[in-house]
Structure formats: C-alpha cells, structure tokens
A and B are shown apart, each in its own frame.
Chain A
Amino acid sequence: MFKAAYSLLCIFDNVDSVYGRKKVQKMVHLLETSGTELPFKYEYHYYGPYSAEVQEEIGFLVQQGFLDEIKHDEAYEYVITDRGRNFKTTLEDDGGYSIDLNERLLNSMTKESSQFLEMVSTYAFLIDSGYEAGSAREKALELKPHLERFVDKAVNYYNEKIKKH
C-alpha cells in the first residue's frame, strides 16, 4: 500500500539530507538501475532521466510531514522527520515492509554533485535504451556536451557501482 512512500523514506533515512530535486531524481534513478526494487518510471527530459512519480511521492511525504522540504536560494533540501521515521518503522514492524537498498551506492552518491549524477544517470538511461557501452558514451556526450568533463568518470562510476553483473 505504501511501498513507494516506504522506499523513499528508506533512502532519506540512510542519508543526512539531499540537496536539490535534481539530485534526488538522479539518485533514485541510479538506485533503481542498480537493481534496487523501486516502482518509479523515468523518462528523458532536459536534465536527463526524470520521474514525475518520484516528485509526486515526495510531495505526499512532505504534505504528510514525513519529510522536511527546506527552501534555499537555489534549491530544495530534503530531510526525513521523526514522524517519517516513525511511519517507516511502523510499516516495517506491522506490515513486514523491507527493501534491499544498495547503501554503499546511496552513500557514495550523496558525496557527488548533481551534475555528475546527471551524466551517470543519462549514460545509464542510454544503456537501458539499447546502446552498447562505447556508443552510449558518445551519445551521452551528444546529449550533454556541457558535462563532457564528467563523462569518463561517469562511465567508470556506472561500471563499478551501478551496472548489474
């Protein structure tokens, strides 16, 4: 019943905070790509893969007081609240909810910039769209020429941390 809400609460409970909606989007996309079972559908937009469903579910969490949305000058920051933790624990204790979250990847992504994750996420999307590794790199550059400085690191990051073997 609350699987989507629960999965996002687990993500936010595992990090101090996430700064920026774009970063949230890319983190969830990459977790999903890496094999974490998440229910969100992604489409390619101006900033790369984007899920309106993720944004909607976050809206629900904020509205219910499970997540704090803090507005800064340039971006929104998200932090799980005590009420959110309580709800998550209740779902686990009474409903048997659980998720196999790739915590290593999650913690690693919190340290990366949203622009870098945008490049990784775009590359991952292209691989999912049928591109071979080499042509996906070229295509990612075609789509994101302004992020060229990230491309090699992004491909390595994908291969090491995200690609399903």
Chain B
Amino acid sequence: MKTIRDPIHNIVQFDKNNDKLLLDLIDTQEFQRLRHIKQLGLASFTYPGAEHTRFAHSLGVTHLMKRFIDKICSLKEDRFIPYIKEIGEHRSLALSAALLHDIGHGPFSHALEKTTGVRHEKWTIAIIQGDTEVNSVLKKYGINPQEVVDVIQRTHPSKAVVKLLSSQLDTDRIDYLLRDSKMTGAGYGTFDLEWMINVLTIGEHNGEIEVGLDIDKGISIAEDFVMARYYMYTNVYFHKTTRSAELLIDKIFSRALELYNEGNIDLPDDLVSILTRKGQLHETVANYINLTDNTIWHFVNIWTNHNDIILNDLSSRLNKRRFFKSINSSELDPLEYWKRVIEISNKYGISREYYFLRDEAKSSSYKDSYLIQTPKIGEEGIEREASEQIVLFDKNGNGTELSYISDIVNGLRNKKISIERYFVPDEYKNEIIGGYQHV
C-alpha cells in the first residue's frame, strides 16, 4: 500500500496492485508537473498559506472519488443496482478522470490562456490524447483516453460517473473547497465531509441521474456546503487583492506578447514554440508541460529591469505587491466612468489598456452557476437554462431540489456572488472617483 499524508484527508492510500494504474499515472512527467502549479494562482498574496498545488488537489479528488464510489456501491436497496453496476464498470475510468481532470492547467492559467489563445481544457485533451506518458499509461491498462476526455468534458454516456466528477455535489469542488479553506486559513469553506459521505446517495431527478443526499439526514450538510461555497467565493476567490494581482499578471503577459510581436523581448523558449505553432497542440504539448509557475516568475523578475516602461512597471508592481486599487463598479455609470478614464489617461499620457481595468468575474477559475443563475421558483414555465442542482432523495428515490426545501439556499439563489469592480493604480483612484462625482 502506498500511503500519503494529506492535510485534508489525512491518510490517502493507493493499493500497489489494484491501484497500479493510478500510481503509474501519478509518476508520469505530465502529472508530476502539477507539483509546480499552484492551485490558487496568486491568492497567496492575500492568504500567505495558499501555496498548495494542483498536484495535491488532484490526489485529493481521486481519494474522494474512491470514497464516493465505495459509498454508492454499498447502498443496499434494489433501486441502486443499476447505478452500482454502471459505476462499478467504470471505476478505473472514473478514478483516472479524477486524477487527470486538471492535468492541462498551466501557470497562472487565465493569463497564459489569453496569451496563447488556448484554454487549459484543450491542453488537458492534448495531454490525454497526445504522445505523452499519460496517454501511454492509460492505453497500457486498457483505458480509452477518449473516454477519459469524455468524462472530464461531461459528454460520457455514464452520467453517474460524469456527475461524480462534475456537478453541484462533485468530488472536485468538495476537495477544492476544503483544501482552499484549510490552506488559506480563511475557515469559511468547512463542512462535515464525513457526514456528507455518510448520507450520500444517487437517483434520478427530472430525467437526469444525480448524485445527491438523503433528504432526512442531508439537508443541514447540503446547506452547510452551499454556504461554504458562497463564503469562499465572496471572501477568497473573489477577494479584491487576489483579483487585482490576477489582472496584473494578465496585463504583464499581454504586454510581453505585444513586445514579442514587435521583436523587443525574449520569452521562454517553450512559450515561443507554442506561440509560433498555434493550433498544433499535439506537436507542442512537450513545450507546454515545461511551463510552470517557476518559469514565469523567473521571467517576471527579469522584466522588472526591462527597458519597456510599461512591462517594467507592471512587473515591479507585482513583485512589490503594489497592486491596483478597486472601485466598486455598481456605484458608477459605465459610460461616465469610461469618459473619466479617457480624460485622465490623456492628461497623464498613460495607457488605458494597461492601467484602467475592469474585473470581469468570468475570468475566475471557479464558476458556480447554481448560485448566480436566475431563480427558478415560480418560473417553471420559463425555458430551462443549463442548470445544476443539489438533489435530496427520499427513501423511495423521489428527488427534491434543495432550494425548494431550504429557505437559506432559496435566499442565496437570488443573490449574485459575482462582484464587478474596476481596478486602477492607487495614484489615480481619487481622481477617478472625485472626477466622476463632479460629472
């Protein structure tokens, strides 16, 4: 037995015989690379403890997937037999997908994605399907790489397996909430995991297979879970300092790319290879896996001395934690704000593109449509959006969506958690706000 100590799950074990596939996947260079990709990117500027990696998270998701599968397969009533059969048949697939679901994440995911024009999901597909060690290991154990992609992309025919990895009550978000909460020290994301697993069940609701909770014993833990998510979004994931740091690295990449296109900067060789062979993901996957947080930090440090004044300034701001300051955009009319930005940027000769930013919540890695979608209560006749729900099942297998029986959750559904902000350098903030007030 391979035993790993983990801050969230304590003991994580992989059987050297039964879990050989997983152990071999963990040992691939593509998976080992995740040791050098931070789970929360730049959040450690706000929460210094948030240094944990996608490597540890991926192990945690796999461990949880095992526990979820074992729990569902232990359910006794006859109505569970088809699900137990389905999940049992796909056990190795589900565990492989859990382990590899974040394999395509790069350093500072969003910023790098904008620079290369390729989203991390595409790299996940390229790594699993391409000429990689991961692909070889999967094939060696008779796992079809395309099926692993299907589970991660949510298009696999086994909806039970898909929902275990990606739904409102999935192993991915349960692990990241607990882990991010613990490692940031924020304390908001905690809930009783053991009780959640104890009351875990599965059934069909509105024609869809859903992983859910027992209605008699699971309402409180379901509420705790939704509240944990809500607080983690508002206090950690959408924290203004972290968001400001992320916007800054985004702009550093943009500027570096602009200078590269003009022939005025050296970029990491592997990044150059990706940029010059766009669309050839399978050919450049080896370059991609060489890019880690460390590579990028090395260059950001060098750029603090670059002769381009914008790149130099932005990189220095990041290094010295002199981030842009936030303005709550809900208090400002966008048209008037825009006019003020034009005026001030012209007055001081500074770039609007690099110094006056809007935080678009969509850039967050953590989206949660459950909490931000239009509430459905009383609107059953209106077209259904793509929505996901936490379902509670009674002993006959009848499902009820959580917000119908929880006032707390129903209240949250009406509450937006996306926070719109503008970010500007500290030295211009008062003029922006003051100027606006006089318009």
Identify the A interface with B (CB < 8 A): 1-2, 4-5, 20-22, 25, 39-41, 43-47, 50, 52-53, 55-57, 59-60, 64, 71, 73-76, 83, 86-87, 90-91, 94-95, 125-126, 128-131, 139, 142-143
In the complex, per-residue mask of B369-384: 1 if CB is within 8 Å of any chain A CB, else 0 = 1001100000001111
Minimal beta-carbon separation of B359 from chain A (angstroms): 10
**A90 to B341 Cα, complex, angstroms:** 12
Establish whether residues A60 and B335, one from each chain, have CB atoms under 8 Å apart when the complex forms: no
B122 within 8 A of A: yes
Establish whether residues A47 and B362, one from each chain, have CB atoms under 8 Å apart when the complex forms: no
Minimal beta-carbon separation of A92 from chain B (angstroms): 12
Contact of B338 among A74, A95, A130 (CB under 8 A): A95
Establish whether residues B388 and A130, one from each chain, have CB atoms under 8 Å apart when the complex forms: no
Q: Which residues of B contact A126 (CB under 8 A)?
A: 155
Establish whether residues B383 and A21, one from each chain, have CB atoms under 8 Å apart when the complex forms: yes
Minimal beta-carbon separation of B180 from chain A (angstroms): 19
Establish whether residues B362 and A129, one from each chain, have CB atoms under 8 Å apart when the complex forms: no
Establish whether residues A50 and B386, one from each chain, have CB atoms under 8 Å apart when the complex forms: yes
Q: Which 10 A-B pairs have the closest CB atoms?
A: A45-B386, A53-B362, A50-B386, A1-B358, A44-B154, A52-B369, A75-B383, A52-B367, A129-B153, A94-B342
Establish whether residues B335 and A86, one from each chain, have CB atoms under 8 Å apart when the complex forms: yes
Residue from B333, B338, B382, B385 with most neighbouring chain A CB atoms (10 Å): B385
Establish whether residues B125 and A2, one from each chain, have CB atoms under 8 Å apart when the complex forms: no
Nearest A residue to B369, CB-CB: A52
Minimal beta-carbon separation of B384 from chain A (angstroms): 7
Contact of A55 among B208, B338, B368, B373 (CB under 8 A): B373
B290 within 8 A of A: no
Q: Which residues of A contact B381 (CB under 8 A)?
A: 73-74
Q: Which residues of A contact B418 (CB under 8 A)?
A: 56
B352 within 8 A of A: yes
* Range class of the B interface residue count: 35 or more
- Contacts A44-B154, A94-B342 hold; do A128 and B386 have CB atoms under 8 A apart? no
- Contacts A45-B154, A74-B382, A143-B155 hold; do A40 and B122 have CB atoms under 8 A apart? no
**A60 to B416 Cα, complex, angstroms:** 11
Establish whether residues B122 and A2, one from each chain, have CB atoms under 8 Å apart when the complex forms: no
Establish whether residues A46 and B382, one from each chain, have CB atoms under 8 Å apart when the complex forms: no
* Inter-chain pairs besides A86-B335, A129-B149, A139-B155, 16 sampled, C-beta below 8 Å: A2-B338, A4-B362, A21-B385, A22-B383, A41-B119, A41-B362, A56-B418, A59-B416, A74-B382, A91-B338, A95-B338, A95-B342, A126-B155, A129-B155, A130-B129, A131-B146
- Contacts A21-B383, A40-B362 hold; do A129 and B125 have CB atoms under 8 A apart? yes
Q: Which residues of A contact B372 (CB under 8 A)?
A: 52, 55-56
**A45 to B339 Cα, complex, angstroms:** 39
Q: Which residues of B contact A40 (CB under 8 A)?
A: 362
Minimal beta-carbon separation of B355 from chain A (angstroms): 10
Residue from B334, B358, B387, B416 with most neighbouring chain A CB atoms (10 Å): B334
Establish whether residues A53 and B367, one from each chain, have CB atoms under 8 Å apart when the complex forms: yes
B192 within 8 A of A: no
Establish whether residues A55 and B385, one from each chain, have CB atoms under 8 Å apart when the complex forms: yes
**A125 to B149 Cα, complex, angstroms:** 12
B157 within 8 A of A: yes
Minimal beta-carbon separation of B247 from chain A (angstroms): 10
Q: Which residues of A contact B357 (CB under 8 A)?
A: 1
B275 within 8 A of A: no
Establish whether residues B153 and A44, one from each chain, have CB atoms under 8 Å apart when the complex forms: yes
Residue from A39, A44, A83, A142 with most neighbouring chain B CB atoms (10 Å): A44
Minimal beta-carbon separation of B437 from chain A (angstroms): 19
Q: Which residues of B contact A52 (CB under 8 A)?
A: 362, 367-369, 372-373
Nearest B residue to A51, CB-CB: B362
Q: Which residues of A contact B383 (CB under 8 A)?
A: 20-22, 74-76
Nearest A residue to B362, CB-CB: A53
- Contacts A41-B362, A129-B150 hold; do A47 and B388 have CB atoms under 8 A apart? no
Minimal beta-carbon separation of A76 from chain B (angstroms): 7
- Contacts A46-B208, A57-B362 hold; do A95 and B352 have CB atoms under 8 A apart? yes
Q: Which residues of B contact A2 (CB under 8 A)?
A: 334, 338, 358
9 chain-A/chain-B pairs, Cβ below 8 angstroms: A1-B352, A39-B360, A45-B154, A50-B385, A53-B367, A55-B373, A57-B362, A90-B339, A125-B153
B361 within 8 A of A: yes
- Contacts A1-B356, A86-B335, A87-B335 hold; do A76 and B384 have CB atoms under 8 A apart? no
Nearest A residue to B361, CB-CB: A56
Q: Which residues of B contact A74 (CB under 8 A)?
A: 381-383
